[in-house]
Structure 1
Amino acid sequence: MRKIDWHADLNQLADELPKLHKNLFFNQEADQFYTRIRKLKDRVDHMNIYTIVMEIAQIVAAIGDAHTVVALPRHNRLPFECYWFQEGIYITLTTPEFEDLLFHKVVNVDGNPIEDVIKRLSRIVSYENQSFLKSQIPDHLICADMLFGLNIISKIETVRITVENQYHEQRDVILPVVKYDEWKPDALYEKAMAYEELPRYRKNKGKYFWSEFDREKKVLYINYNKCQDMPTLTVRDFSTQLTNDIESNADIQKLVIDLRNNGGGNSELFKDFMKWLSIYSRLNRRDKLFVIVGRDTFSSALLNTYYLKRNTHALFLGEPTGGMPNHYGEVKYLSLSSSGLYIRYSTKYYELDDDKRLPSFMPDVEFPVRFKDYIQNVDPCFAWITEED
């Protein structure tokens, strides 16, 4: 590997990011930013690459803009996926070799209580509210590169974790680290889960958007997971299909738009359907139209949420959103010349709510994501909608 000139990269970060970002110092004094860079330059010659990258990530995260973040390299990971439920962080997917760990709570990583691990990981997460932090922590927790760079683990080849079962019995497990490009979650997911028993929001993970009509409940469910066209279907064509289906099917008594897993993209793509819906009086009613949001509702998906809030009579359910209503966005990238690290930064400010301090879009009816619902394949939001008269 060629030697990286970290001093040059840090000088570039200090010089260029304040000029490129829409308003870099909206949340902290400029001196704080420059002082942290100067202190890192004093130490950088005696640090390993993992720790250096984590230090840069902490400097950028301290800006307080969820759209401005270091695109962290990810090479080594733990052989499982996890989720932060109301009851704690649980393993939701793993390899056959470790299937006895499935649905266990993670309580310790290499001797560090999970609360301390979360605290350290939170320093490298660019977040504006607790919902988005909850969204991001699981993906960081499984990254061995980050754990090593933050001195949470002492070596990168294997990781010792402590898990707890439903009877509150704990045990230690030594897990091998695997490469990200060797991790095949789709195949594992299909084998581990009884697909037909899954709630709708956990199905069709490979699709950006899809819909399904529940004839028994007379509900049309629309899952909009990503504000982006698919290779085989555009959002425009999908929207046309939806309007035709709704207009031709009088049995549709309720309409659900699920944005809880939508991290953004292009907010304009779904606009035609939302405009049509705003004037479709048969379903544009508070007892007919429902929108589900959550911790992963972010960026363009949040813009879509506010459009529906302002232009329809929808009732909103779920969790507070990961996206902050008044926020910076419309991202571009800065590449640090020597290391090649990418810094994503905001170029525009969005003001969606009159309350400048509102941390999240707050749903009308809140439903925390509970492990006991997950394990029983229950979607409390959809259940509430279909049971409500």
Structure 2
Amino acid sequence: MKQKILITLFTLLITVISFTNSLENEKWIEDLNYLKTELPKLHKNLFYKISEKEFNSYIDELSSNINKMNNKDVLLSLDILFTKIGDAHTGISYSYSNEFDSFYPFDIMEFEEGFIVVDSSKEYEDIIGSKLIAINGFSIDYIKNQLSKIIPHENEAALIKALPQNIIFPDKLKYLNIIENKDKTFFLFEKNGELILKKILSEKISNRKNIQYSIIKYKPNFLNKYNNSFFDYIYFEDSKIMYFVYNQCYSVEVYDKYPDPRINREQLPSFEKIVGNMLDIIQENDVEKFVIDMRNNPGGSSSMGTNLAKIIGDFDKLKDNVYVVIGRRTFSSAIINTLDFKKYANAKIIGVATSGKPNHFGEIKSFELPNTKYKIFYSTKYFKFLNDDPDSIYPDIEIKMSLNDFLNGEDTIFKFIKNN
């Protein structure tokens, strides 16, 4: 009798699970059909790279296979679709920490020398400062190429930018057939000329706050204090350089023109006030070089930067001594402003290639999938600034941050500008 009750309960449990999964699958199928209908109507030109037939067929096939997939598989499959669309501003938004339950407890950064480990859990602190060479025998270049399947991008720089934040998630590596088991993953590093093969175990995302980390020992450089600033300036009187840190194309003036209820106006800086003070210093002092640093600028409203480029271009004493610093995070309106400084101030572009491209889709809007509530971002306008169509802004002078400069509190690019 007892055995019969257990069998009945087990059968009931399986039925409930199957019913729940069936409901979830139906929700996804409805959402995929909604995406199939709405996105082509809303996007400026969805089929400029992918054909309508290919788009519809992909969604139909995904819907037909939905009962074989978990939530992560569906999201990554949609990432593939958005990668095929080819517009870096169009995609699905989801939080890694909510959707992926485990990660490898270390972080890497791009330097001139390669991808260097800058922090890790205490258990693996011997790899800090080492260069990542391979994962399970697959080279970084191979992994980058595999990631190109699930990361909407328009150029190589976007993949380089995305690599550090993606390779620490075993679910993504497994989906791309780089690993088979998240706890049988071997990482190959190089440090001081010696190779280190390290088996690294994944940790639960939910346990992330409890993990003790070790961080690479470095001296902060002068830019660190401005990491959270929208924009600000530093006047280096000894070297006669005015340095403008431009991290956000947004200000109280932009807010007043386009109010956003999600943003607290009181916390926004005034572009007119800060730039006005900076221009007074340029006018009244022996400033010989002007630098605008947009390497960490993801965009916003381009009008402020355009006006500043025109003003800087009118200073005769800055002629041929204007520099724009760009990087992997330079994107959208910051791309436009880079071109502005080139056009109006004959600026030299310095740094590394941008993840955004000059001619690009933009002016993003969004909608929610009705059941799963994931947000879909899409472009409503196409910006054409150049007659040709390069995939990135490439610097006139390519300079990457060197590991040695980073550790010693120096900025490689500023050091170059100061000495040339």
Which band: TM-score by shorter chain?
Answer: 0.7 to 0.9
Deviations 1:39-86 (CA, angstroms, capped at 9, x unpaired): 211211111211111001111111111111221321144333222345
Residue identity opposite 2:322 in structure 1: L
2:249 corresponding residue in structure 1: 227
1:125 corresponding residue in structure 2: 151
Counterparts in 2 of 1:148 and 1:73: CA distance versus 1, 3 Å: farther
Deviation of 1:7 (Å): 1.0
Residue identity opposite 1:3 in structure 2: E
Percent of aligned pairs with the same amino acid:
29
2:24 corresponding residue in structure 1: 3
2:329 corresponding residue in structure 1: 296
User: 1:79, 1:178 within 8 Å by CA — same for their partners in 2?
Assistant: no
2:79 corresponding residue in structure 1: 57
1:280 corresponding residue in structure 2: 315
Which runs of structure 2 are paired with 1:243-258 in the superposition (5 Å)? 243-248=279-284, 250-258=285-293
CA–CA separation in structure 1 for the residues paired with 2:390 and 2:244: 28
Deviations 1:78-104 (CA, angstroms, capped at 9, x unpaired): 333222345432222334554322222
The structure that is helix-richer by fraction is 2
Residue 363 of structure 1 is aligned with which of 368, 373, 395?
Answer: 395
3-state secondary structure, aligned to 1:337: coil
Counterparts in 2 of 1:363 and 1:235: CA distance versus 1, 3 Å: same
Gaps of at least 5 residues in structure 2 are 1-19, 253-266
CA–CA separation in structure 2 for the residues paired with 1:95 and 1:208: 31
2:80 matched to 1:47?
no
3-state secondary structure, aligned to 2:245: strand
CA–CA separation in structure 2 for the residues paired with 1:184 and 1:67: 35
Counterparts in 2 of 1:242 and 1:98: CA distance versus 1, 3 Å: farther
3-state secondary structure, aligned to 2:49: coil
User: 1:243, 1:273 within 8 Å by CA — same for their partners in 2?
Assistant: no
3-state secondary structure, aligned to 1:282: helix
Counterparts in 2 of 1:234 and 1:100: CA distance versus 1, 3 Å: farther
2:109 corresponding residue in structure 1: 83
Length, aligned pairs only: 380
2:404 matched to 1:383?
no
User: 1:239, 1:272 within 8 Å by CA — same for their partners in 2?
Assistant: no
3-state secondary structure, aligned to 1:270: helix
Counterparts in 2 of 1:31 and 1:126: CA distance versus 1, 3 Å: same
13-22 or 113-122: bigger deviation = 113-122
Deviations 1:230-255 (CA, angstroms, capped at 9, x unpaired): 8252333221221222223x132211
17-26 or 74-83: bigger deviation = 74-83
CA–CA separation in structure 1 for the residues paired with 2:78 and 2:407: 38
291-300 or 86-95: bigger deviation = 86-95
Counterparts in 2 of 1:311 and 1:113: CA distance versus 1, 3 Å: closer
CA RMSD of aligned residues (A): 2.9
CA–CA separation in structure 2 for the residues paired with 1:52 and 1:109: 25
Deviations 1:213-232 (CA, angstroms, capped at 9, x unpaired): 22322212111122233825
Deviations 1:243-279 (CA, angstroms, capped at 9, x unpaired): 222223x132211111112111222233443332232
Deviations 1:327-385 (CA, angstroms, capped at 9, x unpaired): 11111112212222222111100001111x31122322222455455455553322221
3-state secondary structure, aligned to 2:47: coil
Deviation of 1:150 (Å): 4.1
CA–CA separation in structure 2 for the residues paired with 1:270 and 1:341: 33
3-state secondary structure, aligned to 1:233: coil
| Bigger CA radius of gyration | 2
Deviation of 1:314 (Å): 1.7
3-state secondary structure, aligned to 1:343: strand
Deviation of 1:201 (Å): 4.5
How does the TM-score come out when normalised to structure 1?
0.87
Residue identity opposite 1:235 in structure 2: F
2:364 matched to 1:326?
no
CA–CA separation in structure 1 for the residues paired with 2:193 and 2:383: 47
Deviation of 1:293 (Å): 1.3
CA–CA separation in structure 2 for the residues paired with 1:180 and 1:272: 46
Gaps of at least 5 residues in structure 1 are none
2:189 matched to 1:163?
yes
Deviation of 1:311 (Å): 1.3
User: 2:249, 2:334 within 8 Å by CA — same for their partners in 1?
Assistant: yes
2:172 matched to 1:146?
yes
1:66 corresponding residue in structure 2: 88
